[in-house]
Amino acid sequence: MMEQPVDRHIFVIFGATGNLSFLKLLPALYRLLAHEKQQDRCHVLGVGTKELSDKDFRERAREALKNAGISSKDMNEWCDTCLHYHSLGKSSDDYSGLAERIRSLEKEYDIPGNRVFYMALPPAIFPKAITGIGESGLSTSDGWVRIVIEKPFGSDLNSAKELNHLLHQYFDESQVYRIDHYLGKETVQNLLIFRFANTIFESLWNRDRIDNIQITVAESIGIGERARYYDKAGALRDIVQNHLTQLLTLVAMEVPAVFTADDIRDEKVKVLRSIPLIRPETVVFGQYEKGTIGGKKVKGYREETGVADDSSTETYVAMKVEIDNWRWQGIPFYIRTGKRLNRRVTQIVVTFRHEPVCIFRPYSSCQITSNRLVITLQPDEGFHLYFDVKRPGEPLWLKTESLHFHYKDAFGPLPEAYQTLILDILQGDQTLFVRADEVETSWRLFNPLLGQDFPAHSYAAGTMGPEEAEKLLIKDGKKWENP
């Protein structure tokens, strides 16, 4: 997996006692290092406001790793020797104390100043932490220093610009890793390989051959314990501005000159810049009501703990996006996401144009369907290419069949997105991270939709969203390709 051993470094997790740290970061970090037997090259410093000793933090980390299915003597040893904890104090502003601790760990473990600062924090605290790191001189050292920012990066165009401005006071863009965990998914990365290593599809990938493209990020889960965040964010900020937009740019981008971080990101930004303002009449918001999913009754959004009885936050968004460039002009991209839909699936459906004339029209039993390429990014990762065949016998009858490829059959289980992304951070590869201009261009697109009084149409949990979303496509003479 790693071509070279990672540099000895200190991995500082801000928000170390939170869910992200215990559920994702520590297990991913351990798996990655253990796989290459490089555990001792990484010392983790958990940072938080809670008063914990190293021993307490190690115990909690051990539990978390066990819950993630990791249990070995090596894991215990890693926890005991390579995990440390530092409390920032109640007011969480003791950054000079933190700087001292980091320097003393570097000295003790012979770490040459290589540092990762991982912001696993609520977004409101990012500015304070970034300023604290910068002002205490931690952003410069004899080694490399990288900062990782979780999404959401800002809550609109202005706040994203301000956050970029603050980061750039202390860090060069080459040190900043804005995470969108979708980019760490193998199947999402494979979109580029699929397109640019297989000429058969690339030659069809344009307005002459494609009728429309649909991208769906459907979830069956609700908002769980996240009302405080979600009720302010809504689906537009939570999924559309980041995960869905990333998928859209990867599907629509031009061929980069070479497969490098900046060449790829340049092409993605060009797609975003070719999207005209999204018209409100092509956007549908929805909010789930109570319903049944997988035989289980679930609450409506407004009945979730922490959500106001009259909340108008959208838990569903569908919209039509147009791309005004030579490749895509006139071809609609329909994107949608929602919580409490009837299943969890992330899927891209490319529907090819119909044949110009149906030569089988004398046979009433011959209904031709458009060829479709369905790329499933999760949970059953793979491709399905649908085409018509003749059913044996008489009368002449067509049937839609498909060619399949399933990742799990070819490769077994796929690595966790965080494992891939953390490895890239340690190796200094920014290809799968969002650049400053990319995040701002994407906010620019959606900014006019924020703060608009869109009605959130209700939909029953366990369905595929509100009726209005169906009508959005019917207006264009199309329909959603439901998984």
Instruction: For residue 316, report the phi and psi dihedrals to the nearest 5 degrees.
Output: -145, 140
Q: Is 117:78 a contact under the CB 8 Å cutoff?
A: no
- Of 284, 292, 291, the closest CA to residue 315 belongs to 284
Q: From the candidates 9, 84, 181, 243, give the one annotated as an active-site residue.
A: 243
> Does position 314 bind ligand BG6 by CB under 6 A?
no
Write each residue from 160 to 199 as x if it is in contact with ligand BG6 (CB under 6 A), else as -, in one continuous string.
----------------------------------------
Q: How far is the CB of 151 from ligand BG6 (least distance, A)?
A: 6
Rounded CA-CA distance 205/68 in Å is 40
Is residue 243 part of the annotated active site? The answer reads yes
Which DSSP category does 145 fall into?
Answer: E
Q: Is 89:48 a contact under the CB 8 Å cutoff?
A: no
Q: Is 462:342 a contact under the CB 8 Å cutoff?
A: yes
By beta carbon distance, the residue nearest ligand BG6 is 238
Provide CB contacts within 8 A for 236, sequence distance 6+: 285, 314, 317, 446, 449, 450
Instruction: For residue 310, report the phi and psi dihedrals to the nearest 5 degrees.
Output: -115, 20
Rounded CA-CA distance 219/416 in Å is 18
Give yes or no for a cis peptide into 395 (omega within 30° of 0). Answer: yes
Q: How far is the CB of 238 from ligand BG6 (least distance, A)?
A: 5
Q: Which is nearer to ligand BG6, 151 or 268 (CB)?
A: 151
Give yes or no for a cis peptide into 280 (omega within 30° of 0). Answer: no
Write each residue from 130 to 159 as x if it is in contact with ligand BG6 (CB under 6 A), else as -, in one continuous string.
---------------------x--------
How many CA atoms within 13 Å lie on the side-chain side of 248? 34
Which amino acid is it at 161? K
Q: Which is nearer to ligand BG6, 155 or 325 (CB)?
A: 155
Q: Which is nearer to ligand BG6, 106 or 238 (CB)?
A: 238
Number of residues that bind ligand BG6 (CB under 6 A): 3
Q: How far is the CB of 252 from ligand BG6 (least distance, A)?
A: 20
Write each residue from 395 to 414 as x if it is in contact with ligand BG6 (CB under 6 A), else as -, in one continuous string.
--------------------
Give yes or no for a cis peptide into 379 (omega within 30° of 0). Answer: yes
DSSP E strand boundaries for 161-299: 176-178, 210-218, 283-289, 291-293, 296-298
Q: How far is the CB of 182 from ligand BG6 (least distance, A)?
A: 7
> Does position 219 bind ligand BG6 by CB under 6 A?
yes
Q: How far is the CB of 90 from ligand BG6 (least distance, A)?
A: 28
DSSP E strand boundaries for 262-368: 283-289, 291-293, 296-298, 316-321, 333-338, 345-352
Q: Which is nearer to ligand BG6, 150 or 322 (CB)?
A: 150
Q: Which is nearer to ligand BG6, 256 or 382 (CB)?
A: 382
Q: How far is CA 153 from CA 164, 269, 279, 438, in A?
A: 9, 16, 24, 11
Q: Which is nearer to ligand BG6, 238 or 304 (CB)?
A: 238
Q: Which is nearer to ligand BG6, 182 or 383 (CB)?
A: 182
Rounded CA-CA distance 238/259 in Å is 29
Rounded CA-CA distance 466/289 in Å is 10
Q: How far is the CB of 401 from ligand BG6 (least distance, A)?
A: 30
Q: Is 418:181 a contact under the CB 8 Å cutoff?
A: yes
Q: How far is the CB of 92 from ligand BG6 (least distance, A)?
A: 24
Q: Which is nearer to ligand BG6, 153 or 334 (CB)?
A: 153
Please state at what angle helix 54-67 crosses helix 73-82, rounded to 10 degrees: 150
Q: Which is nearer to ligand BG6, 231 or 238 (CB)?
A: 238
Footprint of ligand BG6 on residues 428-457 (CB under 6 A)?
A: none
Rounded CA-CA distance 265/270 in Å is 9
Q: How far is the CB of 355 from ligand BG6 (least distance, A)?
A: 36
Q: How far is the CB of 115 from ligand BG6 (least distance, A)?
A: 25
Q: Is 62:30 a contact under the CB 8 Å cutoff?
A: no
- Of 27, 29, 28, the closest CA to residue 62 belongs to 27
Among 47, 116, 213, 238, binds ligand BG6 (CB under 6 A): 238
- Could you give the residue numbers annotated as active site? 243
Sites of contact with ligand BG6 (CB under 6 A): 151, 219, 238
